[in-house]
A and B are shown apart, each in its own frame.
Chain A
């Protein structure tokens, strides 16, 4: 089955640690996105990538980093510079001008 997978589903981080969230898609989509979701604030765009080896900052990129070395993979690193990282993180992909397809999400909690 084609789709988007995110791992892990739940992630716990100690303060000062970097953590990496995985996002993989087998839909052969060119564009991929990372969103952060907080209660009552909808989805906010962190980073997006239109093609391999290219990515752009979204609205809240500070404290995050990404890479896009392969078409199917778009990992997100939450660095220690992100002061309030506890949130639900969603990865999405898109083909052409069509809608975005979302993964199941990763819930990150800082201990």
Chain B
């Protein structure tokens, strides 16, 4: 069965520290992978995506993620956390179904706290 696992429902870092949010997925075919960010009471905003090609992808706000097929992982990183990065982050994988339908499977989310 397709699934997405985000390790750690809550992550806390100091301002200026490295941010690492973990995502592992299960898929029998090459996946399309996404990271979204959500601020309180708002919709989701795309941070970055991997479809094909270069496995290290850069997104908005200084975030990047690396697709590692052997580890079935797509961890999100940022070298230096800013207070404005405090939000909830969701990893998602696109799965295709018969009939040409596709849908995103989301992880449960990781809430990032940034303290001074």
Chain A residues packing against B (C-beta within 8 Å): 4, 6, 33, 40-43, 45, 48, 50, 56, 58, 88, 90, 92, 97, 99-105, 107
Contact = CB atoms under 8 A, between A and B. Distances in A.
B103 A97 contact: no
Main secondary structure, interface of B, reads strand
Nearest to A45: B103
A97 B102 CA distance: 8
Interface of B: 9, 32, 34, 36, 41-46, 49, 51, 90, 94, 100-104, 106-109
Contacts of B32: 97
B46 A43 contact: no
Contacts of A100: 104
B108 A104 contact: no
B45 to A, nearest CB: 7
B51 to A, nearest CB: 8
B88 to A, nearest CB: 9
A67 B43 CA distance: 22
A108 B43 CA distance: 14
A42 B103 contact: no
12 contacts: A40-B109, A42-B106, A48-B101, A88-B41, A92-B44, A97-B51, A97-B94, A97-B102, A102-B43, A104-B43, A105-B42, A107-B41
A109 to B, nearest CB: 13
A104 B109 CA distance: 18
A56 B107 CA distance: 22
Nearest to A41: B108
B92 to A, nearest CB: 8
A45 B104 CA distance: 9
B103 A43 contact: no
A103 B46 contact: no
Nearest to A33: B103
Nearest to A10: B41
B48 to A, nearest CB: 10
Nearest to B51: A97
